[in-house]
Chain A
Amino acid sequence: MTGDSPARVQEPGIADDATVAGELPPVTSSDTGFTPLIFEIPAISRRQFLAGGLAAGIGMVCGAGLVRVLGVVPVPPDGSPAVAGDPRWQFVVDTRACIGCGLCVLACKEENDVPLEAAFARTWVERHAVLADGSVRVDSPEGGIEGFPSQIEGIDAKTVRESFFEPRLCMQCHDSPCTVVCPVGATYKTSDGVVLVDSERCIGCGYCVVACPYGARYIIPAGDRLPGGKPGVADKCTLCYHRITRGQLPACVEVCPTGARAFGDLADSTSPMHERIKGAVALHPEYGTRPAVLYQGPIIDGTELA
């Protein structure tokens, strides 16, 4: 072999018989005893075929399990138990204390760069009035960002039997419909219980917007104010995740002049929230979403109305 040209050295032994490089020698199973290029497909029975298919299927299922165990492709952590040591954020709204100043709405828009129009709100304030005839009127001019006019439009104040303000925001549900319906897994729940939207992953289909029974979501319109950094994706209250993870209160809680909005960490045994949540109830518990945001005082479904 040493005397051969370099090109020949590269050739495998069997190619020595080839007359022209690149041309395969005629080989048959009868003269060599094996077939290097053509495999004879063994005849298998239907039973063998099905058994092989079943084995391959079982193997693939096991492979998928292995992928999950190895964490090759992470899965959305919704429903996973809270990580030990993580905070347990608790938000409580007291409708008896709310005076409808709307500073919370303003602060939220300012803090999170939320578009100023009422249709795009992470939080808003509603005014509920029970009239003398028992009917309920709700108004929320511009989401309450400028506060409230003294009268409900078209309603004589004398006919109002009872009225109160109800601040609204994302309920951070334990069983959140928005997370379930998201077709691309863009909405997820953090280990400390906050439902967030990955705006890089969101495709803006809007399914979550219609799935949320509390109306807490919207699609970010094109413009200068982009909470998640880009338009055309879903957005909602993050509990001011950048504030609470720095030990600050959410912006709406920070500016609330009456303590109608309260926030704390239930994992902290010294937190005053342990006292605050006593008697607090979920808004629309019949939706079955197990909201983490709780309410005190009269609320929308009327169960606490006198």
Chain B
Amino acid sequence: MSHDAEHVAEPPIADSGPTGLEPQDPIVRATEWQKPLRRALALAAIAAAGALAVVVVALALAATTPEYGFRPNADSRGWALHPLVLAPRAGCVRCHAHQVALLDANAHATTSCQGCHGAGTDHENAPRPGDVDMAIPASAICVRCHSSSVGRPVTVPQITISRHYTEACLDCHNPHTAVATRPPVVTHPLEHLPACIVCHGPDGFQARNQRHPLEPTDDAACLRCHAVGRGRIDVPVGPR
């Protein structure tokens, strides 16, 4: 094709001179030189038609079936519009600055409010007491980090639950100050006395900490925490 075009595409310009190759008839000559041009034009038209067809089909597809287009921008916007569930920490601080300040002053400073209390956006939107209350965490939250466990870095204080005083962590420990209120110890003799519950039970003395369980129990259970050597007033008094 191209070989043909090169061969015949001799322009009929005056300086080509009377050579043997030049056709004698001017009309025939004109047709001869126009032939490759017409051929090129025809091919260009075919190519343009092909290109146009592709563009038209693509436009038609895009216009009629937009869901078949790749639409990363629209989709990532969709993901970005998901609602928050965990509220920004600033929302907690707005009302609970006191607790946050306590927390920030001790080893629990790096913990997040919502790590223990659960997601807070609903509470933030309806903060009045009784609307959407935040959870007061159970001890299960404490032992997530503080139970002795294979793999846990030794830098984290850990307990063996079965050897700890009680599984009700919050009876003694304040998680916001990371300080444990150690149980008061028995400072009187235990000999010749009735069971603890007789004097300290529901019908006797009230425990100062009203969250403390006061179900009837045996002395061994009481002394597990209140025995000398474990308490706040740790003076050895009386026989054990």
Partner-B contacts on A (CB < 8 A)? 47-48, 51-52, 55-60, 62-64, 66-67, 70, 72-77, 96-97, 99-103, 107, 110-112, 127-129, 146-152, 155, 157, 160, 163-165, 185, 188-190, 194, 196, 198, 200-201, 238, 241-243, 245-246, 248, 251, 254-259
Contact = CB atoms under 8 A, between A and B. Distances in A.
B86 interface: yes
A100 B46 contact: no
B148 A103 contact: no
Interface in B66-104: 67, 69-72, 75-76, 79-86, 88-89
Contact of A147 (B47, B67, B86, B144): B144
Interface in B49-67: 49-55, 58-59, 61-62, 67
Interface of B: 1, 39, 42-44, 46-55, 58-59, 61-62, 67, 69-72, 75-76, 79-86, 88-89, 108, 110-112, 114-115, 118-119, 140, 143-145, 147-153, 156, 160
Given A60-B54, A190-B76, A55 B84 contact: no
Given A55-B44, A67-B55, A74-B70, A242 B82 contact: yes
Contacts of A165: 151-152
A100 B151 contact: yes
B116 to A, nearest CB: 8
Contacts of B49: 56, 59
Given A160-B150, A242-B81, A72 B44 contact: no
B64 to A, nearest CB: 12
Chain B interface, >50% SS class: helix
A63 B53 contact: yes
B47 A196 contact: no
Nearest to A197: B75
Nearest to B61: A73
25 contacts: A59-B48, A64-B58, A70-B55, A73-B62, A73-B70, A74-B72, A101-B144, A103-B144, A107-B119, A127-B150, A129-B150, A148-B150, A150-B160, A151-B150, A155-B150, A157-B150, A188-B75, A190-B76, A196-B72, A242-B80, A243-B84, A246-B84, A255-B114, A256-B112, A257-B115
A255 B58 contact: no
Contacts of B108: 257
The list of the 9 closest CB pairs from A to B, nearest first, reads A59-B50, A63-B54, A59-B47, A63-B51, A242-B82, A255-B115, A163-B151, A147-B144, A56-B50
B46 A107 contact: no
Contact of A241 (B48, B80, B86, B153): B80
Contacts of B118: 110
Given A73-B69, A101-B145, A146-B140, 8 more contacts: A55-B50, A72-B55, A76-B70, A101-B144, A155-B150, A241-B79, A242-B81, A254-B86
B152 A111 contact: no
A63 B152 contact: no
B55 A257 contact: no
Contacts of A52: 42-43, 46
B70 to A, nearest CB: 5
A56 B144 CA distance: 69
Contacts of B160: 150
Contacts of A75: 70
Nearest to B44: A55
Contacts of B69: 73-74
A259 B71 contact: no
